[in-house]
Amino acid sequence: MTQEAPLQRFTNASHYVLDDELARIVNVSMALELPLLLKGEPGTGKTRLAHAIADSLGMPLIVLNVKSSMKLVDALYQYDTLTRLNDSRFSDSSRDVSRIEDYIRMGRIGQAFTAEQRVVLLIDEIDKADTDFQDDMLDVLDQMQFDIMEIDKTVTARHRPVVIITSNAKKDLSDPFLGRCNFHHIAFPEADMMRRIVAVHFPGLDEQLVDACLAAFYRLRDLEGVEKKPATRELLNWLRALLVDPDVDATALAEGRLPYLGILFKKSADLEAAQMQALA
């Protein structure tokens, strides 16, 4: 087995708090040239990780936001038939109507393959798409090439992109899919980790306030009968709201007077439950 030129290693990036375990997993996936599948509840920083990797490796980031109706070919390339039809009728464009290639536009995966330099390709929320899409996509990523049928041309990746795939676990992914990825589940950050995350976003925040907020936040997450628990994103927004309100102080929070619960709980039933139980 040939060792590649010095492995590019991913360490840390600003605005993303990384634990060692995760850094190790990212490095291993890059070395093994396997896509890394990240699962975890919303708000655990799956998407942000890709941004951080791109940042720290100095590679451009290409994001493919998967939609439920998406077909694989949309992610690879598009054949703009409408423009071609238009051009052939009015012939006032600089494109050559007889050259189909002029009407092929690269999709996100295509862009990642044809990019001048190595890129980070983030495939966000893969679980939204159907199984066929997932399996076919991995075939493409495995072989690092795809065919453009209309012009009978094969696009091969110039540089193997670093592929990060995220899933919210709405649907289970198929076994063949899982078999071709490295897997990591990002657990919800614990209080210590969360403190570091908060510190990154709000440097120099009053310690007492942070303590009180985090205590309240984790208490609220443990409430019974809540369907959508508040996540990191909600916590940060909540903190932002608390910071602009001059009336908020740590002691009030510690006593259980919690304003702006609506930021933390996005469903009305959850909000009611939280308000009931927070008062009790």
Partner 1 sequence: MFRPFFYALRERGVMVSPTAFLRLQRALSMGLVQSLDDLYTVARTVLVKSERDFDAYDQLFAEHFADEAAAGASSADLDQKLREKIAQWLKKPKKPATSVEPGAEQLERMSPEELEQYYHDRLDDQVGEHHGGRKWIGTAGVSPVGHSGQRPGGMRIGGISRNRSAMQVALERRYRDYSRDKSLTRGQVGEALKRLRHLIPAGPHDALNIDATIYQTMRNGGEIELVFDRRLADRLKVILLIDNGGWSMETHVPTVQTLFNHARNQFQNLDIHYFHNTIHERVWNDPERVHSPIPFEQLLARDPQSRLIVVGDASMAPEELLHAGPSYTLRRVSKQASIERLQAMAKAFRHAVWLNPLSPSLWPYGQTINLIRQTFPMFPLSLDGLERAVEHLMHS
Applying CB under 8 A, the residues found at the interface with partner 1 are 1, 3, 21, 24-25, 27-29, 31-32, 34, 36-37, 39-41, 81-82, 84-85, 169-171, 175, 178-179, 181-185, 187, 222, 224-225, 227-229
Distance CA 98, CA 63 (A): 32
Min dist CB 18 to partner 1, Å, is 13
Min dist CB 62 to partner 1, Å, is 23
Min dist CB 116 to partner 1, Å, is 27
Q: Which residues pair with 104 in a beta bridge?
A: 79
Nearer to partner 1 by C-beta: 159 or 171? 171
14-52 as b/e: b if 16+ CB within 10 A: eebbbeeebbebbeebbeeebbbbbbbbbbbbbbbbbbb
Residue 27, helix vs strand vs coil: helix
Nearer to partner 1 by C-beta: 63 or 273? 273
Nearer to partner 1 by C-beta: 158 or 229? 229
First-last CA distance in the chain: 63
Nearer to partner 1 by C-beta: 78 or 114? 78
- Which amino acid does the sequence have at 56? S
Q: What is the DSSP string of 161-210?
A: PEEEEEE--SSPPPHHHHHTSEEEE-PPPPHHHHHHHHHHHSTT--HHHH
Nearer to partner 1 by C-beta: 130 or 245? 130
What's the token pair of residue 201?
A: 């976003």
| 126 in Cβ contact with 180 (< 8 Å) | no
Nearer to partner 1 by C-beta: 178 or 205? 178
Nearer to partner 1 by C-beta: 193 or 210? 193
Min dist CB 36 to partner 1, Å, is 8
Min dist CB 61 to partner 1, Å, is 22
Nearer to partner 1 by C-beta: 85 or 199? 85
Min dist CB 157 to partner 1, Å, is 20
Min dist CB 172 to partner 1, Å, is 8
Residue 44, helix vs strand vs coil: coil
Distance CA 130, CA 111 (A): 22
Distance CA 201, CA 30 (A): 28
**How many residues make up the chain in this entry?**
280
Min dist CB 28 to partner 1, Å, is 5
| 199 in Cβ contact with 235 (< 8 Å) | no
Strands 36-39 and 162-167: parallel
